[in-house]
A and B are shown apart, each in its own frame.
Chain A
C-alpha cells in the first residue's frame, strides 16, 4: 500500500508533497528527528564521534609512539607554559613519553574496554535474562540469586577480587568490569521479557506454533531492545570509569600501556611540580564519559518516549 503510493508519487513529481505527507518516515529518520531535539545529546554525540575518530586514527594522528621515551625531555612542560615547545604540545610525563600521543592512544584503550564490556555483557545479559524469563522457575531463581549476589558486592571491590585472582592486565580488566555490570543487563532483559510474555502477540505467536528459540529471539527480544540499548550506551561510560579506577589502583592495564587511569596513578608524585601530568588524563576521561552520558540521555529520550517526561 505505502509502496504503491510512493511509486505513484515518483511517477508524478508534482505530487511530491502528498507523498511526503503520506509516507511513513523510516524508523531511523524518526529516531534522528527525536534525537536531534536534544541539543546536549547532539553535542555529546559530536564529541564522542571526535574521540572515536582519534581512537581509530591514533597511529596517524599521534605525533609519536605512546611508548617511546624521550630521555632528554623528561617532564617537558606543555606549549603554553614557560619552557614549553611545539615539539611536545601537551608536554611529556615522568618517563619522557609524549603526553599528547599517550592521550590519543589512551582513547583507543578506553573505548576498547568500554565497548568490549558493553557488547559482552549485552549478549550474555540478553541470553541469561531471556533464559531466566522463559525457561521456568529453577533457572529463574538460580540466575536471579546469582545476579543478586554480584550486586551485593560493591562494584570496585568485586573487580578487585577478580583482578587479584586473575592478575592485573587489560584483558582481565574487561573480564572484571563485565562481571560487575552483567546483573544490570540480566535484570533489565528479564523484567522486560516477563512484561512482554504476557502480551497477546506473544500468545498469538505461540498458538501459531513458534518454537521457543524463535520466540525468544525474534518475537520477545526485539521488543525489549529500546531500554537495553539505552542501558548499553550508559554502560559504556560506566565501564570506562570503572576500568580507569582499576588502572589508577594499579590493577588494570599495566605500564607502558597508555591507559588514562594508570597514567594518573603514575602522575601522583608530580602533583606539586608538574600539574599537567595530573590534569590531562583525567580531563580526557571526564570529557569522554560526559559525551557518552549525554548521548545516552538523548538515546533514552528518543527511544523511550515514556521516560521523557522529566
Chain B
C-alpha cells in the first residue's frame, strides 16, 4: 500500500519537471526580444535593455536560467504580472475560488441530473425516456458550450429576464467581505438577506453551461454501466430473494454501477478547467480561465506562464488524488502496476 502511494507520488515529479520545462521553453519561443516580452515595454534604450537583461538573468547560460526558474517555482515565486504588478501566485489564489465554485456547481448539476436519468434510462431500456435521454446526451457532449451560453443568456436572461447576465453577485445591492472567496459561502456569512440567493442566481446559468458536456457523458456512462450491472448474477439473486425492485435497483445495482461513473467524474477535472475558460469568458466570471485569456490579450506573459503552470498543477494533483483514492479502495489497481 505504502509502496504504491510512494511510487504514484514519485511518478508526478518528472511530470512537474517537464511541465516547468514546457512553460520555460514556451515563453522563450514567443517572437520578439525576450527582455521586451518579459518587461512588457518596447523600444528601450540599450542601457535599459542591458539592465533588465541582467535583472532577469537573461545574460546567464540557458541551463542556469532554467535551474533558476525551477528554484523560484519551488519557492512559490511564479513571477510578477505585468498588468497588475502583483505576484502571479497571489493573483491566482484570489481568482481560483471563483473557478472552483463554478466547477463544483457545474459538476453538482451534471451528477444530480445525469446519474438518476441514466439509471432510469437503463431500467426502462428502449422506452421513450431512454431514447429521449440518449438524444439529450448526444446534444450535451456535442455542444459548443460558448454558443449554448450565449443562447441561454439570450432567452433566459435577456428575453425572459429570469436570471442575471454576468458576474457573481449584484454589486450594487450587496457588498460584503469575502474571506473565503466562495461567493455562496461569503454571502451566507455576511448575514445580508438575499445575498445568498443572489449569488446562487448568478451561478445557475454558468453552472448549467459548464455542466452540459459532463452531463452528457455521465448520463451515457451511468446508463451503460447500469445495463451491464443489471444482467449480473447478484442482481438476479436479489430479485429472486423477493427484494422490492426499488431496493434492487437503488442499492444492489446502482451502487455497483457508480464505480465507473466516479472514474469519469475524477477524470473530468481537466475538461472542467478547459470549459471554465469559455464559460468564464461568456459570463464575465472573474475566475482563472478569464484571467488567462485576458493575459494573452495584454501580452502579460509572466501571468500566462504562471497561470498555465498553476492550472496544470491543480489538474495533476487532482488526478494524483483520484489515483491514490482508487489505490486505497481497489486493491487490483495497487497491484496492477
Contacts and interface: CB of A to CB of B under 8 A. Distances in A.
Interface of A: 145-146, 148-149, 151-158, 160-167, 237, 241, 244-245, 248-251, 261, 264, 267-268, 271-272, 275, 278-279, 281-282, 285-286, 289-290, 293-294, 309-310
Contact of A154 (B14, B27, B273): B273
Interface residues of B, number: 50
A278 B27 CA distance: 35
Contacts of B18: 145-146, 149
Given A154-B273, A154-B274, A293 B150 contact: no
Q: Which 6 A-B pairs have the closest CB atoms?
A: A282-B147, A310-B224, A156-B274, A154-B273, A154-B274, A289-B142
Interface string B122-148: 000000000000000011011111111
B312 A152 contact: yes
B15 interface: yes
A250 B278 CA distance: 11
B261 to A, nearest CB: 14
Contact of B144 (A272, A285, A310): A285
A148 B8 CA distance: 13
B293 interface: yes
Given A164-B296, A250-B297, 16 more contacts: A153-B311, A154-B271, A154-B273, A156-B275, A157-B311, A162-B26, A163-B296, A164-B26, A165-B29, A165-B30, A167-B31, A237-B142, A248-B146, A271-B154, A281-B147, A282-B150
Given A152-B315, A310-B224, A160 B293 contact: yes
A81 to B, nearest CB: 15
Chief secondary structure at chain B's binding surface = helix
A282 B138 CA distance: 16
Contact of A156 (B138, B143, B277): B277
A251 B292 CA distance: 12
B97 to A, nearest CB: 18
B15 A145 contact: yes
A154 B312 contact: yes
Nearest to A282: B147
B139 A286 contact: yes
A245 B144 contact: yes
Nearest to B18: A149
A81 B277 CA distance: 34
Contacts of B144: 241, 244-245, 248, 261, 264, 282, 285-286, 289
Contacts of B142: 237, 241, 286, 289-290, 293
B3 to A, nearest CB: 19
Contacts of B9: none
A90 B222 CA distance: 40
A255 to B, nearest CB: 16
A160 B288 CA distance: 13
A249 B15 contact: no
B150 A149 contact: no
B70 to A, nearest CB: 15
B150 A278 contact: yes
B169 interface: no
B26 A272 contact: no
A1 to B, nearest CB: 41
Contact of A248 (B158, B278, B316): B278
B68 interface: no
Contact of B228 (A155, A285, A310): A310
Contact of A153 (B19, B143, B147, B151): B19
Nearest to A153: B312
A172 to B, nearest CB: 12
Contact of A271 (B150, B227, B297, B308): B150
B69 to A, nearest CB: 16
29 contacts: A145-B15, A145-B18, A149-B19, A152-B19, A152-B270, A153-B22, A154-B271, A154-B274, A154-B315, A155-B270, A157-B277, A157-B292, A157-B312, A158-B308, A160-B292, A161-B308, A164-B26, A164-B30, A165-B27, A244-B146, A248-B146, A249-B281, A251-B296, A261-B146, A264-B144, A264-B146, A264-B147, A278-B154, A293-B141
Given A248-B146, A264-B147, A160 B277 contact: yes
A125 to B, nearest CB: 19
Nearest to A141: B14
Interface string B22-35: 11001101110000
Contacts of B218: none
